[in-house]
Amino acid sequence: MSGTEEKKNKKYGRIIAIILIALVVLIGAVMGIRFIVNSNHEVTDSRPVVRVTNPETRDVEVYTDQIGTVQPAETVNVIPMMAGEILEVNFNAGDKVREGDVLVVVNADGLNALKIQMDAAEITKDDAATNLERTKALYETGAVSKAGLEQAQSAAEGAELSYEAAKSQYDIQKKYANITAPISGTVEYKNAEVHGFASQGTPVAVISGTGGSSVTFGVTEDSVNTINVGDTVGLTKTGYEGSAVITEISGMVGQNGLFNVKAELDNPEGLTTNSRVMVTLLKNKSENAVTIPLRAVYHDSGASFVYVLKDDNTLEKRVFTPGINDGVNIVVEEGLSQTDNVVYTWSRELYNGAEVVVDFNGSKEQ
């Protein structure tokens, strides 16, 4: 082999070696890139994850709040039976009084004259009684006839009756002059001042009895059909929580368009007359109703609907007829059965026919 050919062969060998090395490097680079790409790429499922539940049977109660006014269970107006100047006032608003306590003394016109008449009648009675005793003694000695004795007896009896009549008139006027508390309790209102004038028919005081307190409030027609005498309502006010038992329900609508209801307070301590309290009572109730979670419900053009999971894990948009709800659960009147799997998780990716993934662990907790 000549020297020229040997040089050519060496040259070709170097070229082939370079090409082989380049191929090896290229293959390695391609494999490395594929490895990196494959190691960083994760296959994700774009289907929305949902939780489902079956409709359940339960009682659903809806409550409403009304403003009530606290009143004494017994309230009496103290009204003068006669007019006159007020001489004494023995009470103030807020005082505790007992039945029979003298609250106001009125200057009764003619009371002094009646006292004089009563005293005169008493003297006449006593004189007639003394004369009768003397006449009896004389009759026994024969100095007085039987007719004289009977005359003395009649005079004594007449004098006794006259005295009792005068005393009765005086006592009545004196009673009218001394205006007393008709019941025991607390004075809620005072309308009397010394040297003022007491008028017949105008109360000088209002007394609330010690027999407890009540609360009055109004309810709408749908509420009046769900409450009964004997039901308990809740009462709340700043610093106070209690309850009351319904004792009266009006059968007629008042001027305010509501039915008046009265309830007796279990514990009125801390509440004052005419104070306002919040009354919580049953507004509506559905017993043994089929219900679903309220958060499962969607609305569209006035219609209520839910998404129901089908066997192939796709969703069906199901319109149903809703009933009352208590803020957590809603009553299903029509459109769903208790075997339906209702989606109760919200997602903007849900639509009729959407394919979803069910979170069965999460579906156990609503």
pLDDT per residue as tens, the chain (366 positions): 555 666 666 666 677 767 777 776 677 666 665 655 455 545 567 889 999 999 999 999 999 899 999 988 778 899 998 888 899 999 999 899 999 999 999 887 677 788 889 999 999 989 999 998 998 888 888 888 888 888 989 998 998 999 999 898 888 878 788 889 998 888 888 999 999 998 888 999 998 877 678 899 999 887 888 889 999 999 998 888 889 999 999 988 888 889 999 999 887 777 877 889 999 988 888 999 999 999 999 999 999 999 999 999 999 999 999 999 999 999 999 999 999 999 999 888 999 999 999 987 755 455
Predicted pLDDT at 10:
65
Residue 237, judged by CB atoms within 10 A of its CB (0-12, 13-18, 19+), counts as: middle
Predicted pLDDT at 42: 52
Residues 6+ apart with CB under 8 A from 292: 53, 55, 56, 306, 329, 330, 332, 336, 342, 344
Tokens linked to 210: 């010690």
Nearest CA-CA partner of 247 in 215, 286, 276, 275 = 215
Residue 366: the pLDDT is 52
pLDDT at 28: 67
pLDDT of residue 2: 56
Buried b (16+ CB within 10 A) or exposed e, 330-349: bbbeebbeeebbbbbbeeee
Q: Cα(17)–Cα(169) distance, rounded to whole angstroms? A: 150
| Beta carbons of 155 and 135 less than 8 angstroms apart | no
d(CA 75, CA 210): 10
pLDDT of residue 44: 61
Query: So what's the pLDDT on residue 362?
Result: 59
Confirm whether pTM is higher than 0.75.
Answer: no
**Token pair in block for residue 119:** 């005293």
Q: What is the pLDDT of residue 92?
A: 94
